[in-house]
């Protein structure tokens, strides 16, 4: 068996005004499962009382966060007092200047706890004259209630309920509240920290203040990227919320909360792909190191070319490298190192490709022959400079296509055996690290 009692405790307007001026706060009293259970039971009472009004052709009363919080405080106060029949002034302000307000406290003792919300509804909605209050009467005077708040508190075998009915000329303020924001992301240079607010209502206007080591930093948005000066410091963010028509339980129009600190900011990590090498792998040809964009984009790159596993010490630290004869038969690679203030350095090496082959003597022109084309006269062979200079030249004179013994200089005295015949010269160029190349001149006129 359960027993129930209800005491009508109208709250006069003067008392409401006095409470509105109170500096005491409506601090949250319920946490965890107990709070969830009380809130669920309060919702059941709220729904049941509105059903009673509907059964009597009355419009349902809207919930208001401040009235609900106030009712929670009231129900808790009477539950913790020595006598629930003693009027308890809830410790907090009543916002919105209601035109009229009343409080209906009740106690349900014994019986199943799951049935107490229903018994509270029956008790309040029609067991006695207090039903007049629920049906828009206040001390015999018609009142058009338009908002309701229900508080529920359980202690031992008893449940205490407080129902607050209020009439507001306009829309009363709602609760603006905030718990500590959270920060996601790694506290290191190059990363982005993101603040997540925990604010009611969710569409409140928010401002952000990030701090590193307790000192404000530049970002005023929901994200912040640590900078070099933040190294070794912990980061926090303070979010301030405001919303028209909302107020805090302390009667302020803004609320602020600060996150827990991140770990101390550490150096960032440079990231990037290995370089690639372009160009012909032959002696005398230029190779080029190609580096895709590394992170962060401000990374400075240095280069070191390698011949096999050995560093190239001459002209080997630029983005480009021209292969020399010593490179023939070796694989040429390049290592790229990225550095940036506040970041650990990163070195990546290109893949080893084919070996460097001998170069090709280029930009060649056939030799020319000058002189008088008569027996006994001296002919001279000449060539334009072959590339890459210097190229070592050798010669072979021929008469009607046949090599003349010991005629291997750049000059040639025409022998009598050449009369009636034509003379040519073969120029051969040699260079270390390059192939050998030979070219034959045009034949002279017939020797006289």
- CATH of residue 42's domain is 3.40.33.10
Give, for 20, the enclosing helix (H) or strand (E): helix 13-20
Structure tokens at 197: 């607010």
What pLDDT is recorded for position 37? 86
Among residues 232, 249, 266, which one ends one of the domains? 266
Q: Does residue 337 sit in helix, strand or coil?
A: strand
Same domain as 308, residue 255:
no
Contact 323, 356 (CB under 8 A): yes
Peptide bond into 89 cis (omega under 30): no
CATH number at residue 382: 2.60.40
Interval 278-303 mean pLDDT: 96
Q: What is the dihedral of CA 384, 386, 388, 391, to 10 degrees?
A: -110
Contact 276, 242 (CB under 8 A): no
Beta carbons within 8 Å of 72's beta carbon, 6+ residues apart: 29, 30, 38, 42, 151, 152, 153, 162
3-state secondary structure of 245: coil
CA distance 129 to 140: 10
| pTM more than 0.85 | no
- What is the predicted pLDDT for the residue at 95? 63
Task: Say which range, 66-70, 91-95, 288-292, 347-351, has the weakest mean pLDDT.
Answer: 91-95
Rg (CA), the chain: 49
> Which CATH number covers residue 304?
2.60.40.2700
Return the axis-axis angle of helices 116-126 and 32-55, rounded to nearest 10°.
Answer: 40
Same domain, 188 and 279: no
pLDDT for 90: 43
Query: For residue 364, what pLDDT band results from cuts at 50, 70 and 90?
Result: confident
Report the range of poorest mean pLDDT among 35-49, 309-323, 368-382, 419-433.
35-49
Q: What is the pLDDT of residue 139?
A: 67
> Which pLDDT belongs to residue 35?
60
- Region 93-117: mean pLDDT is 78
pLDDT digit string, tens, across residues 394-412: 999 999 999 999 999 999 9
Task: Provide the pLDDT for residue 30.
Answer: 33
Q: Are residues 119 and 51 in the same domain?
A: yes
Q: Are 185 and 292 within one domain?
A: no
With bands split at pLDDT 50, 70 and 90, how would you rate the model's confidence at 235? very high
- Residues 431 and 377 occupy one common structural domain: yes
Asked, for residue 354, whether it belongs to a domain, the answer is no
Question: Which of 125, 149, 167 is the endpoint of a domain?
Answer: 167
Listing from the earlier edge strand, what are the strands of the sheet with 286-290?
Answer: 276-278, 286-290, 320-322
Does the pLDDT value for residue 352 go beyond 60? yes
Eight-class DSSP state of 14: H
- When comparing pLDDT for 34 and 212, which is higher? 212
Q: Which residue has the tokens 């913790």?
A: 80
Average pLDDT over residues 49-53: 89
Residue 120 inside a domain? The answer is: yes
Considering the domain architecture, whether residues 274 and 327 belong to the same structural domain is answered as: yes
213 and 321 in one domain? no
- What is the extent of the structural domain holding 402? 368-440
Residue 267 scores a pLDDT above 60: yes
The domain total for the chain is: 4
Residue 254 lies in a domain: yes
Taking residues 289-300, what's their average pLDDT? 95
Q: Which of 137, 129, 141, 126 has the alpha carbon at shortest distance from 165?
A: 137
> DSSP letters along 156-179, please?
TTEEEEEEEEEE-SSPPPEE-EEE
Write out the two tokens for 352: 């080893």
| CB neighbourhood size of 29 (10 A) | 18
Q: Do 184 and 208 lie in a common domain?
A: yes
Residue 355 counted as domain residue: no
Least confident segment among 102-111, 279-288, 306-315: 102-111
Tokens of residue 96, six digits: 């919105």
CB neighbourhood size of 90 (10 A): 25
Handedness of CA 209, 212, 218, 221 (dihedral sign): negative
160 has a pLDDT exceeding 70: yes
Q: Are residues 7 and 62 in the same domain?
A: yes
Q: Which of 108-122, 124-138, 191-205 has the highest mean pLDDT?
A: 191-205
pLDDT band at 303 (very low <50, low <70, confident <90, very high): very high
* SS3 assignment for 191-212: CCEEEEEEEECCCCEEEEEEEE
Same structural domain, 37 and 133? yes
Buried-state track 236-252, b at ≥16 Cβ within 10 A, e below 16? bbbbbbbbeebbbbebe
Q: pLDDT band at residue 34, thresholds of 50, 70 and 90? A: low
Cβ count within 10 A of residue 79: 22
Q: Decide if 329 is inside a domain.
A: yes
The closest of 436, 362, 435, 367 to 398, measured between CA atoms, is: 367
- Is there a contact between 190 and 268 (Cβ–Cβ < 8 Å)? yes
Query: Are residues 148 and 180 located together in one domain of the fold?
Result: no
Contacts (Cβ under 8 Å, ≥6 apart) of 288 = 277, 278, 279, 319, 320
Strands laid side by side in the 223-224 sheet: 177-184, 193-200, 223-224
Structural domain ending residue among the three candidates 167, 197, 225: 167
**More confident call, 380 vs 86:** 380
CA distances from 282 to 107, 180, 236, 385 (A): 98, 66, 58, 21
Indicate whether 137 and 83 sit together in one domain: yes
Q: Which residue has the higher pLDDT, 248 or 230?
A: 230
pLDDT tens profile 271-281: 999 999 999 99
Q: What is the pLDDT of residues 206-227, one digit of tens each?
A: 999 999 999 999 889 999 999 9
For residue 83, name the pLDDT band (cuts at 50, 70, 90): low
**pLDDT class for 126, splitting at 50, 70, 90?**
low
Whole-angstrom distance, CA of residue 375 vs CA of residue 121:
140
pLDDT at 5: 44
């Amino acid at each position: 068996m359960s027993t129930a009692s209800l005491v009508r405790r109208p709250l006069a307007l003067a008392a409401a005004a006095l409470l509105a001026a109170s500096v005491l706060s409506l601090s949250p009293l319920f946490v965890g499962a107990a709070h969830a259970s009380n809130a669920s039971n309060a919702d059941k009472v709220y729904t049941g009382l509105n059903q009673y009004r509907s059964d009597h052709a009355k419009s349902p009363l809207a919930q208001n966060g401040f009235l609900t919080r106030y009712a929670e405080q009231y129900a808790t106060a009477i539950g913790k007092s020595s006598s629930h029949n003693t009027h308890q002034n809830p410790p907090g302000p009543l916002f919105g200047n209601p035109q009229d307000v009343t409080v209906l406290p009740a106690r349900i003792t014994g019986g199943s706890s799951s049935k107490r919300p229903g018994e509270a509804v029956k008790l309040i909605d029609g067991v006695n004259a207090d039903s007049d209050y629920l049906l828009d009467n206040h001390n015999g005077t018609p009142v058009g209630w338009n908002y309701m708040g229900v508080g529920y508190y359980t202690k031992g075998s008893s449940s205490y309920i407080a129902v607050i009915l209020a009439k507001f000329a306009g829309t009363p303020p709602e609760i603006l509240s905030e718990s500590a924001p959270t920060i996601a992301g790694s506290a290191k240079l190059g990363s982005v920290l993101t603040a997540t607010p925990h604010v009611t209502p969710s569409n409140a206007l928010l401002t952000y203040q990030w701090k590193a080591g307790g000192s404000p930093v530049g970002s005023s948005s929901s994200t912040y990227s640590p900078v070099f000066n933040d190294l070794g410091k912990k980061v926090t963010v303070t979010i301030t919320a405001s919303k028209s028509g909302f107020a805090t339980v302390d009667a302020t129009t803004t609320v602020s909360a600060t996150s827990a600190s991140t770990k101390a900011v550490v150096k960032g990590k440079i990231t990037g792909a290995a370089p690639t090498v372009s160009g012909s792998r032959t002696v005398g040809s230029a190779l080029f190191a190609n580096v895709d964009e590394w992170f962060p984009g401000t990374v400075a790159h240095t280069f070191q070319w390698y011949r096999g596993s050995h560093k190239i010490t001459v002209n080997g630290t630029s983005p480009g490298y021209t292969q020399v004869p010593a490179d023939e038969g070796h694989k040429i690679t390049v290592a790229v190192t990225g550095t940036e203030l506040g970041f650990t350095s990163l070195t990546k090496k290109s893949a080893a490709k084919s070996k460097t082959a001998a170069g090709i003597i280029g930009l060649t022109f056939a030799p020319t022959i000058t002189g008088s084309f008569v027996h006994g006269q001296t002919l001279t062979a000449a060539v334009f400079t072959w590339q890459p200079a210097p190229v070592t030249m050798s010669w072979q004179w021929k008469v009607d296509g046949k090599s003349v013994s010991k005629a291997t200089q750049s000059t040639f005295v025409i022998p009598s055996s050449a009369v009636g015949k034509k003379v040519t010269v073969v120029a051969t160029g040699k260079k270390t690290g390059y192939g050998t190349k030979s070219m034959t001149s045009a034949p002279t006129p017939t020797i006289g």
